[in-house]
Amino acid sequence: MSKRIVIFGATSAIATEVAKRYATERGGERGPISLHLVGRNPAKLAEVVAACDAKGARVTQECADFDHLEANEGVVARALDTLGGVDVALIAHGDLGNQLASERSFAAAEATLRTNFLSVVSLLVPLANACEAARHGTIGVITSVAGERGRPRNYTYGAAKGALSIYLQGLRTRLYAADVAVTTLKLGPVDTPMTRDHAKHLLFGQPHAVARDIVNALDARIAEAFVPGYWAAIMPVVKNTPEWIFQQLPFLSGR
C-alpha cells in the first residue's frame, strides 16, 4: 500500500533525516512512498530530494518561504494536489531567533513569533480542513520543550512554541471525530546547525535518533511526544518548580 507524505521545512537537519528514513526504511515495509518536500533553500532542497529519490521513493518538491503567510494556503493546496491527498504531514520548520534582539525590538520579536507560530498556523488551517474533509490523515508538528516554561534565555521563542502546543491541543480534539491524528512533537535541544552556537551537553539529541523517534510517534498517532523521551521526565519538574525557587536557580533561570 502506498503512503503519501508531505514535509514542510524539509531542509532542516531533523526533517532531512525524517525524509530519508521514510524513503529508506518505510518504503520496503509499507510499499511505494510518495514524498512531497517543501523548503526555502533550493540547493539544500535539491540535495534532500536526490537522497530520497536514490532510495526509491517518488519525490516531488516546491521551494517556499513560510514567512510569506498569505502564500501558504496555496503551498498546502499544491502539495495535496501533487500527492493526490495525504497520509502523513509533518511541519518541521522553525528558528530560534535572537532573544536579546527580541527584547529590544518589536520587529525582531514579531519575526520570531511569525516563523514559529503564525506561519505554522497558516499551514495548519488549510491542512486540517483538507484532512477533516477526507476523514483521514496524521498531522505532526515539531514544537519545543522551550514552550513548557518561560526562561530568560529564550522566552520569545518559547512563547511561540507554547502557543503552538496549545493550538495543537484544540486542533487535536476538533479533528478527533474525523479520525485525524494530531501529534505534538516536543523536542529538546538537538545537535544541528540551528544550535551551532550553543554549548553542547549530554541531553542534546542527535538528528538521526530524533528522526527515528518522530517517525515512530507519527506511526503510532501519539498525541504528544517528548523527543528524546527522557524529556518527559525532566520537563514536569522544570514546569512545576515554584517561581520563587526557579528564579534562584541560575542553571534554569539564567541567560
**Range with the lowest mean pLDDT among 46-50, 53-57, 105-109, 181-185?**
53-57
Using DSSP bridges, classify how beta strands 181-187 and 224-227 pair: parallel, antiparallel or unpaired: parallel
| Residue 25: count of CB within 10 angstroms of its CB | 14
User: Which residue segments constitute the domains of the chain, with CATH numbers given?
Assistant: 3-253 (3.40.50.720)
pLDDT in the model for residue 26:
55
**How far is C-alpha 165 from the geometric centre of its chain's CA atoms?**
11
Beta carbons of 79 and 123 less than 8 angstroms apart: no
pLDDT in the model for residue 203:
79
Residue 151 has pLDDT above 90, yes or no: yes
Count Cα atoms within 13 angstroms, Cβ side, for 3. Answer: 20
Beta carbons of 66 and 123 less than 8 angstroms apart: yes
**194-198: average pLDDT:** 63
pLDDT in the model for residue 30:
55
Residue 29 has pLDDT above 70, yes or no: no
pLDDT in the model for residue 171:
98
In sequence order, which residues have a C-beta less than 8 Å from that of residue 88 and are 6 or more positions away? 3, 4, 5, 6, 137, 138, 140, 218
pLDDT in the model for residue 2:
60
Cell readout for 217 is 510517534
Please tell me the pTM assigned to this model.
0.93
Beta carbons of 222 and 214 less than 8 angstroms apart: no
For 204-248, the pLDDT digits (tens) are 879 899 999 999 999 999 999 999 999 999 999 999 999 999 898
Residue 27 has pLDDT above 60, yes or no: no
For 173-183, the pLDDT digits (tens) are 999 999 999 99
One-letter-per-residue 3-state SS of the chain:
CCEEEEEECCCCHHHHHHHHHHHHHHHHHHCCEEEEEEECCHHHHHHHHHHHHHCCCEEEEEECCCCCHHHHHHHHHHHHHHHCCCCEEEECCCCCCCHHHHHHCHHHHHHHHHHHHHHHHHHHHHHHHHHHHHCCCEEEEEEEHHHHCCCCCCHHHHHHHHHHHHHHHHHHHHHHCCCCEEEEEEECCECCHHHCCCCCCCCCECHHHHHHHHHHHHHHCCCEEEECCCHHHHHHHHHHCCHHHHCCCHHHHCC
Percent of the chain with pLDDT over 90: 82
Residue 251 has pLDDT above 80, yes or no: no
Residue 43 has pLDDT above 70, yes or no: yes
pLDDT band with cut points at 50, 70 and 90 for residue 249: confident
